[in-house]
Amino acid sequence: MRQLRSYIVRIYRQGFDRLWGTVEDAETGFKRSFSNAEEMWTLLHGPIRAAAGRAGRNPSKEPSKQEK
């Protein structure tokens, strides 16, 4: 049986043809961005959970080792 997952989806629109937003795992807080409906659909149907120890962090926003 598949595990039930919860997401927070933020969708932004500009006009009729511009769509973007984020999909956030409600359990871990890990976020992924999308720039069209197909990408959003893929994120909702695939694994987006962060690896252990990185929950709630967006890897693109992680400081480099030099900044720490």
Order of strands across the sheet that contains 18-25: 7-14, 18-25, 31-34
CA 11, 6, 26, 39 torsion-angle sign: negative
For the chain, helix (H) and strand (E) counts, in that order, are 1, 3
pLDDT of residue 16: 85
Q: Tens digit of pLDDT for each residue in 16-61?
A: 889 999 999 999 999 999 999 999 999 998 875 554 444 444 444 4
In a domain, 66, yes or no: no
Inside any domain, residue 1: no
Q: What is the pTM of this model?
A: 0.62
Based on the structure, what is the number of domains in the chain?
1
Q: Which residue range is the domain that position 35 belongs to?
A: 7-58
Q: CA torsion angle for 16, 22, 25, 30 (degrees, to 10)?
A: 170
